Amino acid sequence: MKLVVAIVHNDDAAACVTALTDSGIECTRLNTSGGFLQKGNATLLVGVADAQVDEVIELLRRHARDRNEYLTPIPPTTEPAELLVPFPVEVQIGGATVFVLDVDRFEKL
């Protein structure tokens, strides 16, 4: 048995959960936020048999798309008198970050 931990963009989370459940795969969604971009995302926890891992990853690949957005970084100020006007920066967001972990024991109570 494996635990698939997938971090996806908030905009893609509902489509990923729907695709998984439509395929008969149960998952748990946790709302989380990223550290670098401070953007909302979702962490999906999916417990599956070893043979289903590739199916889960393929479903995530199809429904968690990457995209480019312009973000205005908020730089840390070192002195109160300093005034920095940040310019928008194009960054790639979305897609999925996936971890596959071995599960020693699983019980559904």
Measure CA of the first residue to CA of the last residue in the chain; give whole Å: 17
Beta strands in 34-105 (DSSP E): 40-48, 66-71, 89-94, 96-102
Number of domains making up the chain:
1
Read off the CATH number of the domain in which 74 is found. 3.30.70.120
Domain region containing 6: 2-102
What is the phi-psi region of residue 11: left when phi exceeds 0, alpha when psi lies from -120 to 50, beta otherwise?
alpha
In a domain, 107, yes or no: no
**pLDDT, one tens digit for every residue, the chain (109 residues):** 999 999 998 889 999 999 999 999 999 999 988 765 566 789 999 999 999 999 999 999 999 987 777 766 666 555 555 566 667 777 766 689 999 999 999 888 8
The per-residue pLDDT for 8 is 92
The per-residue pLDDT for 93 is 67
The per-residue pLDDT for 78 is 55
